[in-house]
Amino acid sequence: MAEITMEKIISWAKRRGFVFQGSEIYGGLGGAYDFGPLGVELLNNIKAFWWKKVVQDREDYYGLDTAIFRHPRVWEASGHTTGFSDPMAECKNCNTRVRADKELIKIGVTADEKMSEEEIGKLFKENLGKIKCVKCGKSDFTDVRKFNLLIKSNYGDFTTKNTEPVYLPGEACQGIYLNYKNTLDSMHPKIPFGIAQIGKAFRNEISPRNFLFRCREFEQADTQYFIRPNENKDKYEEIKQERWKWHMDLGLSEKNLRWKQHENLVFYASDAWDIEYNFPTYGFDEIEGVHDRTDYDLTQHTKFSGVDLSYNEDGKKFIPWILETSMGVGRVFLAVISEAYVEEEVKDETRTVLKFPKHLAPIKVAILPLSKKDELSKPAREIFENLKDHFVCQYDETQSIGKRYRRQDEIGTPYCVTVDFDTLNDNAVTVRDRDTMKQERIDIKELLGYLQDRLK
């Protein structure tokens, strides 16, 4: 069996309508991707599963959807205007920019973006002979310097001076902190409680790469759990296990998941762990972070806004500590596809099948008349009209039935319903299972219940 590579997955994703290069007809735009007709269905199913488990099934979480644009001082309070940067070096030969920490990691040298410019610059110089430009192959780079990742806008600025720029959000979670007090005043939650949001983030990445893995525009699913001071340890471990279980319930296999603890913590953090997934070609890399942030965020916003963000519990006021989870939605989307993508040998040919968990499959049921003739298309259309109120369905009458089965396999449709000439006599259809390829004859009157039992 041929190896499953990311190159294969990327090619499949475009061919089958899951992911397209952003602005492709203009030659593309680095770090920007569009989700196609089937990709957006899968993406929405992942987000809906997250929202259901994190918000709707819980009594202690509240959901938000906050504005992208925020007051400029938000990013001063959060530290993004001064500390949100990556170490950059530029090839003197072809002007290609690289992230110094990532290039060092490639050659086995421990480094990360939290190191000072001097520390990482020293490491880069010491190992310069081993580092090759990804474009021209030379080892002639400028000194390392820190490059701020925030993207400026001219929001509300009609002077062109841009003296107080409004930034696109470098992370989505700040909207939660800004609405912490509004949530307190409107919902009156008892501590401990959480606030959740799925939102966009933008980063001026030095070298966007690895498909959806490192983009300049992406989506984050974040929670902030507010607790009493110094009650963090047990709850932090509990949240870690909840997030691990969520990824397992989503359909990722345990053998492809692992925990990795941060070696270099930001100064205010008590602990930080990443859940990593083992991607084809890329290997293990982060899909979600779980962070113990102490009282830093609300303390900073109290200081910069002048608004008291303390919690009042029976007359005792305190700034809550925060336990954060932050999931890259696009990264999890890619992990789900990587997990599901299978190539099998069937009757001397290779079958590509996406074995999505049924609750995530973009299309749940395909209705396939054996012929385009009215005598079959009419009852097939009636079945489609009946089922589409219950599942996301697709009607397909183009090409041979074998090719249509393969096409549905390749987009991960769990069940195909074939209407054939026997249907006209026995009022039954053939239902084909994606994973086993077994076929079963089902009475049309029992079809809805049959599918509902299997697509719960």
Q: What is the pLDDT of residues 231-269, one digit of tens each?
A: 999 999 999 999 999 999 999 999 999 999 998 888 788
* Residue 124 sits in the same domain as residue 180: no
Please name the residue ranges forming H helices in 231-343.
233-250, 296-305, 329-340
41: pLDDT confidence band, cut at 50, 70 and 90? very high
Number of domains in the chain: 3
How do 61-64 and 321-328 pair as beta strands?
A: unpaired
Q: Contact, 447 vs 393, CB < 8 A? A: no
List pLDDT tens digits, range 65-124.
999 999 999 999 998 988 788 899 999 999 999 999 989 988 999 888 778 889 999 999
Residue 353 lies in a domain: no
Residue 347 lies in a domain: no
* Residue 108 sits in the same domain as residue 200: no
**Cα–Cα distances in Å, from 364 out to 156, 199, 455?**
45, 27, 8
Residue 348 lies in a domain: no
* Residue 102 sits in the same domain as residue 136: yes
* Residue 110 sits in the same domain as residue 54: no
Domain CATH for 40:
3.30.930.10
Residue 54 lies in a domain: yes
**Rg, the chain, Cα only:** 26
Q: Write down which residue in 130, 148, 166 finishes a domain.
A: 148
CA distance 184 to 84: 29
Dihedral of CA atoms 10, 16, 21, 24 in degrees, nearest 10, equals: 130
* Residue 374 sits in the same domain as residue 231: no
Residue 264 lies in a domain: yes
* Residue 107 sits in the same domain as residue 169: no
* Residue 287 sits in the same domain as residue 266: yes
Residue 280 lies in a domain: yes
* Residue 137 sits in the same domain as residue 161: no
For residue 373, give the 3-state DSSP assignment: coil
Residue 345 lies in a domain: no
Which residue range is the domain that position 197 belongs to?
A: 6-80+155-337
The residue ranking higher by pLDDT, 164 or 50, is: 50
List pLDDT tens digits, range 384-394.
999 999 999 99
Domain CATH for 448:
3.40.50.800
List pLDDT tens digits, range 159-173.
877 778 899 999 999
* Residue 100 sits in the same domain as residue 123: yes
* Residue 111 sits in the same domain as residue 258: no
- Give kind and range of the element (H or E) at residue 122: helix 117-126
Structure tokens belonging to residue 158: 């009609």
Whole-model pTM: value is 0.92
Residue 344 lies in a domain: no
Q: Output the pLDDT for position 1.
A: 59
Q: Write down which residue in 148, 180, 201 finishes a domain.
A: 148
Work out the percent of the chain whose per-residue pLDDT is above 70: 100
Q: Contact, 223 vs 64, CB < 8 A? A: no
Q: Write down which residue in 148, 163, 187 finishes a domain.
A: 148
Q: Output the pLDDT for position 23.
A: 97
* Residue 290 sits in the same domain as residue 210: yes
* Residue 274 sits in the same domain as residue 209: yes
For residue 77, give the 3-state DSSP assignment: helix
